[in-house]
């Protein structure tokens, strides 16, 4: 009889463990802004502060919408000239080269080889414009456990999942020192999540109904390098323009403003 009760107890314990593990797995694949996040600029959210190795860090989340979901009117510029680049903060850049952690799992059946190759190409698009190596090699021993909105965890994570806000293509979270003396400012961590619930990803050069992974990844990695969004019509051709659409591929490469900005930052 005791053996029977023991077997039943073990059975239910295994069910609870499986349920907990499944719930945890689905949670870490998703992203939602924490209740304390404060929108301080169009699609830019302040996440608060965290202390790490004697540095007081600030966190920001950059939310990229599909153009059809744009919540802000396009700003108009006076005259014929505009500076089509911006920084997260003047002087806030990487001081050391750090690697990244990539989880290629996705809901669209894209191969690990495709995701890995395109990710590296998009990172190199920024690296190739400056002498400093911004992005390091992939860390294959670490595990993606989700974007960090409360404090950095020492990993630069890239993955696909569910983003709670409708119409959001991707979110990049960046931690760093963005205020104080310029020599002290720096970036210390980034996490990028691509939504594969509302959007179908792939190579839009061969299928224009898809959200082009390289097109969006290059933009998000611009944030990871220290570049800010642009929301004015004359800058619509820049990779760092704040909105995107399905089938778009023109932002796989950097435009004049993007190149000028990254060279000035590094």
Q: How far apart are CA 6 and CA 10, in angstroms?
A: 6
CA angle 162, 112, 258 (to 5 degrees): 70
102 forms bridges with which residues in the sheet?
158
Quote the pTM value. Answer: 0.85
In a domain, 7, yes or no: no
Q: How far apart are CA 243 and CA 193, in angstroms?
A: 16
In a domain, 4, yes or no: no
Which structural domain range is residue 52 located in? Answer: 32-265
Given a contact cutoff of 8 angstroms between Cβ atoms, the answer to whether 103 and 158 are in contact is yes
CA dihedral in degrees (100, 206, 70, 124; nearest 10)?
30
Given a contact cutoff of 8 angstroms between Cβ atoms, the answer to whether 178 and 228 are in contact is no
Eight-state DSSP code of residue 103: -
Can you give the pLDDT at residue 18? 34
> Running along the chain, 266 residues long, what does each successive block of 10 average in pLDDT?
46 37 44 96 95 94 78 36 86 98 98 99 99 98 96 98 95 98 98 97 98 99 98 94 95 98 98
In a domain, 100, yes or no: yes
In a domain, 1, yes or no: no
How many domains does the chain contain in total?
1
In a domain, 121, yes or no: yes
In a domain, 11, yes or no: no
The CATH number given to whatever domain includes residue 151 is 3.40.390.10
Q: How far apart are CA 259 and CA 262, in angstroms?
A: 5
Can you give the pLDDT at residue 139? 98
In a domain, 261, yes or no: yes
Determine the distance from the C-alpha atom of residue 28 to the mean position of all C-alpha atoms in its chain, rounded to a whole number: 15
Can you give the pLDDT at residue 68? 53
In a domain, 160, yes or no: yes
Q: How far apart are CA 208 and CA 228, in angstroms?
A: 27
């Amino acid at each position: 009889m005791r053996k029977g009760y023991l077997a039943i107890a073990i059975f239910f314990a295994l069910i609870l463990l499986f349920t907990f593990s499944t719930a945890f797995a689905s949670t870490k694949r998703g992203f939602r802004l924490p209740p304390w996040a404060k929108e301080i600029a169009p699609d830019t959210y302040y996440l608060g502060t965290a202390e790490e190795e004697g540095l007081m860090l600030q966190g920001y989340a950059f939310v990229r919408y599909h153009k059809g979901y744009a919540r802000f009117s396009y700003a108009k510029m006076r005259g014929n000239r505009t500076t089509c680049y911006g920084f997260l903060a003047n002087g806030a850049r990487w001081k050391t080269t750090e690697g990244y952690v990539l989880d290629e799992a996705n809901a669209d059946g894209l191969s690990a080889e495709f995701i890995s190759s395109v990710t590296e190409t998009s990172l190199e698009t920024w690296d190739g414009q400056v002498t400093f190596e911004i992005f390091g090699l992939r860390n294959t021993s670490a595990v993606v456990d989700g974007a960090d909105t409360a404090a950095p965890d020492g990993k630069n994570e890239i993955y696909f999942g569910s983003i709670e806000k409708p119409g959001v293509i991707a979110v990049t979270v960046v931690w760093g020192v963005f205020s104080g003396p310029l020599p002290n400012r720096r970036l210390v961590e980034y996490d990028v999540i691509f939504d594969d619930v509302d959007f179908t990803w792939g190579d839009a050069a061969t299928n224009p109904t898809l959200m082009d992974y390289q097109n969006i990844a290059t933009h998000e990695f611009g944030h990871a390098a220290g570049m800010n969004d642009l929301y004015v019509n004359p800058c619509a051709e820049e990779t760092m323009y704040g909105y995107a659409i399905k089938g778009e591929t023109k932002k796989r490469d950097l435009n004049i403003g993007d190149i000028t900005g990254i060279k000035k930052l590094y």
